[in-house]
A and B are shown apart, each in its own frame.
Chain A
Amino acid sequence: MTAAFNSLIHPFAANAVMLILVIPAASAALLFAVRDYRRSARLNAFAAFLMLLAALALLVEQPPPGDYLHVDDLNIVFIILNSLVGFTTSLFSASYIAHELEIGRLTRAQLRFYHAMYQLLLFAMALSLLANNIGLMWVAIELATLTTVVMVGIYRTHEALEAAWKYFILGSVGIALALFGTILVYLAALPTVGEGAAAMIWTVLMSNAGRLDPAMLNLAFIFLLLGYGTKVGLAPLHAWLPDAHAEGPTPISAVLSGLLLNVALHAVLRFKLVLAANPGAIAPGPLMVTLGLGSLIFAAFMLYRRRDIKRLFAYSSIENMGIIVFAFGMGGPLANFAGLLQMTMHSLTKSAIFFTVGQISQAKGTQRLAELHGLTLTQPVLGWGLVVGVAAIAGMPPFGIFTSEFLVVSSTFARQPLLAIPLVIGMLVGFGALMLRLHDVAFGNPGGPDHPVKSSYIPMTLHLGLVLMAGIYLPGPLVVWFQHVAEMLH
């Protein structure tokens, strides 16, 4: 493959792109070898950091698209977000996992495995984001799925294995559907683009999207939407998501919510663009709007009956994904901008929340909501961190999600008032549920044991700080950039 690169891509940028892929791949291989878990944790964080640097380098210069990989504004957003959250999560997981080892939930062997898998996951996600070839994209997402399946099951508890199994089966079906969609896209492109790999290259598809066979595209999009939508966690394809979040290690929950969902969403967006560029095909918007609204309202109601704090926030991820998909489905510069913003903010906030939740569950020794009370008294930092995080995720100012939800709702209402009503209702219902749980967890009379928390608060504070800043002030370049992407998605 490297040969293809050197021939196709400008050296420097090629290096950046290559690095993004090579670093995690190499370190994954390396981490399999490293025995000492402390060193491996450090190595893990370091590799993630390098990857972040490489991703930032893409801002400086973007290589021209190649047959396999390409970089455009759209996936740069995702890549940088991914590597950032990946880095912070690796920081968090270093301390978290150490604690898990102490209390004996994990063995050293599993730990090695864990770190290697972590890097492998980063690699898979980066690959699927960078892939210009829809087949490659599919492979990468399958890889990411398998990795996370293994990670979810790592605790070997009955629940964990069931969750992993459920995830695995549903995921495989999703993968199969996505593959069928991919084949259909190829067939749609066959008459115009001609045989061979060219018909699977996204840029090529885009450039003559207008002349692809619409009926075939429609068929393909349905399969792709369902296949990748399973990964996005859209209701009713969401079933794997809550259990996987609840039973896996918390850093993995953070990565799942913060990153993997975005990756799948990115895939959906790619094909949405192809479809939108084709006059004859059905408009993808309504489909996505419907699915988004459905997920939002469904998840909002599901929040009420949750007993496990991680499952609770898993459902809130579904809710947010619903809003994001809704926004992209609405289209238009405002809504797209809002969708991007919401996605970024959700990744940051939700991972921060999972950091907090992980530390809470370590401090209290349970994830059951019924046993968590009055955290602001016993664990002030965690308690207030959770309050801030939930306030942010619930769309309270002065946090970024308020901005994006403001844009989504107001722009929707101006264009499609009838759509805005269920949207608002869903938001309100979800808000009520989150606040209800927050009151019980963060306030009231504390109970249960209190172990000291060793893991660092830095990732959480960093994320929440970013979200806060975004709520008050969005830097100009970022705005311009997002607007450009929004235009591109339009």
Chain B
Amino acid sequence: MLATGVTAIVLGQRRSPPIIPIYMLCLLLSVAGCANAGAYLIADNPAPSMMTLPIGLPWIGAHFALDGLAAFFLIVVNLGGAAASLFALGYGRHESDPQRVLPFFPLFLAGMNLVCVAADAFSFLLAWEFMSLTSWALVMVHHRDAANRKAGYVYIVMASFGTLALLLAFGFMAGPDGAYAFSAMRAHAHSPAITALVLVLALIGAGSKAGLVPLHVWLPLAHPAAPSHVSALMSGVMTKVAIYGFVRMTFDLLGTPPWWAGLVVLGLGGITAVLGVLHALMEHDLKRLLAYHTVENIGIIFIGIGLAMAFQANAMKAAAALALTAALFHVFNHSLFKSLLFFGSGAVHAATGERDMGQLGGLGRVMPLTSFVFLVGCVAISALPPLNGFVSEWLTFQAILLSPDLTQFALTVLVPAVGALLALSAALAAACFVKAYGVTFLGRPRSDAAANAHETDRFSLAAMFVLAALCLFAGILPGFVIDALSPATIELLGARMPIQEHVPWLSIVPIAESRSSYNGLLVFLFVTASALLAAWLIHRFASKELRRAPAWDCGFPDPSPATQYTSESFAQPIRHVFGGIAFGAREAVDMPSPGDLRPARLTVTLHDHAWEWIYNPLAHLVYAIADRLNYLQFLTIRRYLSLVFGVLVLLLAILASWPI
């Protein structure tokens, strides 16, 4: 079995200090993993391969299985891993203390691989929590910064909270006699009550890892805190492993989910998508912005999953297959472009030492290649054709359009609303990345660091270009990806989308030609062709001379770059529109009286409802109880004795009144 191989070798290798060999090794192993899983998916009628090791929980052993779903997620994991390793070959040199990164990076990869192949509750949870632990260690790499320590703390607590939720869920599915093997759980039929509980717990567990609102609070803290290649892994890959856990539990282990589960997941997904992107719009820290975007994309994926659940509950297999394919496709896409974008931010960070967009700007001229691939990533994540982000959202829309056939009224009311939310989040994402790219790479540099930046190293560029190429490929030839996803959907739903590879012109047809179809390749060709045509015509028959001149700017050329729009000012109109609802945003203008020379100030306060309504109260509660109980630490011996005495008398009284 591959992943165990990864673990073994990784464990063997981990202690050696030098950077190159470790990342090389990770790269090779990840590529091998990709190849293996890919081979499994390509193979016609693949048979799931099982394996049991005599480790882990005694009298059960550790089961591992490789099936379609696992194989697909293995590809996602190892693709991300390979890219991250490649990137780290260059980026790792900038690391201040690599010996805090090197041991855990391979272990982190191994943990994620293990989660995907684990086939019994114990090894699943072990790998899951191991993944959390190693990633926590990676978050704590730059531990001298108090903010990072807080991030690590919030992260590890949320992670173990999620793990405990999953643990309870598995405990339910395994039953009192402890049938922890997935095969046993599948065979076991679960009562509705148990199914409901398990679903809720699984949603909490996986959601807290994936960053589902309101369990997302750790994510924008922890992801930026880690080194960029790790952030890419956490954001692009680890959240996907969480998705894997959810899909595995709901579709595979529980069997057909009830329709209301689809309702819940849909609603949460929609809210998550919009809130995530709104938060991202308000951010001015590049990596935090990307992290919040992960929240948004998780929402989109959960919308797809929710649709699939709803369809499955109504026995609309084809539709369910479409929805699930859309979700998984988006998983794939997001792992690609989110890694790409985090790499980009890492490159920027390495070149300028800045993450605050307020200090950046104009990098497009000093780092042309980076800015180009970053642009590709932005277009992809903004769901614009002809790149891959659009395809998965398009598929999701197609799935939504099938949902009027759902029988439950609640669903038929909710689904269009979710569709609106999805569209809204897509549009906002575009706005957000106009902001991110425009403020960071365009305009004039806002600091010397930005002005004197320089292009990053070859490895980093290579990693980013590979990912960009993959984004383009998945965007213009989505048919192949969809076909590669079919084994998973067949296993989980017993249905698949129509085979795409025979469709003429390589276009994709979700249900029927007459209904809807999309051909990324042609659109791409048309756009490039007509753009080139226009350029050629104009340069051929009309002028092509060009003159550089100072910016006109309506005749008010401003010397200082500070007059450019910053990320805050860019987001201001959108904050006006949504801020009131989403953040309870308040603006306070402090305008000096005439003749007063002090500058006017505009202060904006945003609130994160999740923190203010859930987490801070909880923390306060815990501390309050802790304070109350703490008195017990400083009692006199007599009082302690009276405690003992009280318990004794209480027990005796109970005994005296015990019915025989």
Query: So, do A and B actually touch in the complex, CB under 8 Å?
Result: yes
A interface residues (Cβ-Cβ under 8 A, vs B): 165-166, 169-170, 173-174, 177, 215, 218-219, 222-223, 225-226, 230, 236-237, 239, 242, 282, 287, 298, 301-305, 332, 334, 374, 376, 391, 394-398, 402-403, 406-407, 409-415, 417, 420, 424, 427-429, 431-432, 435-436, 439-440, 443-445, 471-474, 476, 479, 483
CB-based contact A402/B647 at 8 Å: no
- Check if B245 is an interface residue, CB within 8 A of chain A: no
Tell me which of A237, A298, A396, A445 has the highest count of chain B C-beta atoms within 10 A of its own C-beta.
A396
**Assembled-state Cα–Cα distance A48/B463 (Å):** 58
**Which residues of chain A have C-beta atoms less than 8 A from B630's C-beta?**
302, 304-305
Asked if A237 contacts B174 (CB within 8 A), the reply is: no
**Across the interface, which residues of B come within 8 angstroms of A173, CB to CB?**
641, 644
Between-chain CB contacts (< 8 Å), 17 pairs: A170-B641, A236-B640, A237-B647, A302-B630, A304-B630, A332-B176, A406-B57, A409-B164, A410-B167, A420-B171, A424-B164, A424-B167, A428-B157, A435-B153, A439-B143, A473-B55, A479-B59
- State whether A406 touches B651 (Cβ < 8 A): no
- Complex CA gap A473/B629 in Å reads 39
Majority secondary structure of chain B interface residues (helix, strand, loop or mixed): helix
Q: Which residues of chain B come closer than 8 Å to A239, judged between CB atoms?
A: 632, 635, 637, 640, 643
| Cross-chain contact of A304 among B140, B153, B626, B648 (Cβ < 8 A) | B626
Given contacts A177-B648, A420-B168, contact A397 B143 (CB under 8 A): no
Chain B residues close to A by CB (< 8 Å): 54-59, 121-122, 125-127, 129-130, 133, 140, 143-144, 146, 149, 152-153, 156-157, 160-161, 164, 167-168, 170-172, 174-176, 178, 180, 197, 622-623, 625-627, 629-630, 632-633, 635, 637, 640-641, 643-644, 647-648, 651-652, 655, 658, 660
Other A-B pairs beyond A166-B637, A305-B627, A439-B153, 6, CB < 8 Å: A230-B644, A301-B622, A374-B144, A406-B167, A428-B164, A473-B54
B137 to chain A: closest residue by CB: A387
The answer to whether A403 and B129 touch (CB under 8 A), given A166-B640, A429-B622, A439-B152, is no
A445, B144: Cβ atoms under 8 Å?
yes
- Chain A: minimal CB distance from B163 (Å): 9
Chain B residue with Cβ nearest A337: B58
CB atoms of B140 and A443 under 8 A apart:
yes
Q: Could you tell me if B133 and A282 are in contact, using CB atoms closer than 8 angstroms?
A: no
Once A219-B655, A304-B626 are accepted as A-B contacts, the answer to whether A226 and B168 lie under 8 Å apart by CB is no
CA distance A244 to B452 in the complex (A): 61
Q: Chain B residues with Cβ under 8 A from A472's Cβ? A: 55-56
Contact at B640–A282, with CB atoms within 8 Å?
no
Q: Known interface pairs A305-B626, A435-B156, A439-B153. Does A237 touch B644 (Cβ–Cβ under 8 Å)?
A: yes
Q: Are B641 and A226 in contact (CB under 8 A)?
A: no
CB pair B655 A282 closer than 8 Å: yes
A431 and B160 within 8 A (CB)? yes
Q: Is the CB–CB distance between B122 and A406 below 8 Å? A: yes
Q: Which residue of A lies closest to B635 (CB)?
A: A239
Min CB distance B303 to A, Å, is 30
Given contacts A222-B648, A431-B160, A443-B149, contact A301 B625 (CB under 8 A): yes
Among A303, A394, A397, max chain B CB count under 10 A is at A397
Contact of A410 with B171 in the complex, beta carbons under 8 Å: yes
- What chain B residues lie within 8 Å of A242 (beta carbons)? 633
Which A residues are CB-close (under 8 A) to B59? 479, 483
Residues of A within 8 A of B153 (CB): 435-436, 439
Would you give the shortest CB distance from A105 to chain B, in whole angstroms? 25
Task: Please give me the 10 A-B residue pairs with the lowest Cβ-Cβ distance, nearest first.
Answer: A410-B171, A443-B143, A413-B171, A304-B626, A479-B58, A239-B640, A414-B176, A305-B630, A236-B643, A397-B126
B643-A301 in contact (CB<8A): no
- Given A396-B133, A409-B167: A431 and B655 interface contact (C-beta under 8 Å): no
How many Å lie between the Cα of A301 and that of B170 in the bound state? 27
Q: CB-CB < 8 A to B174: which residues of A?
A: 410, 414
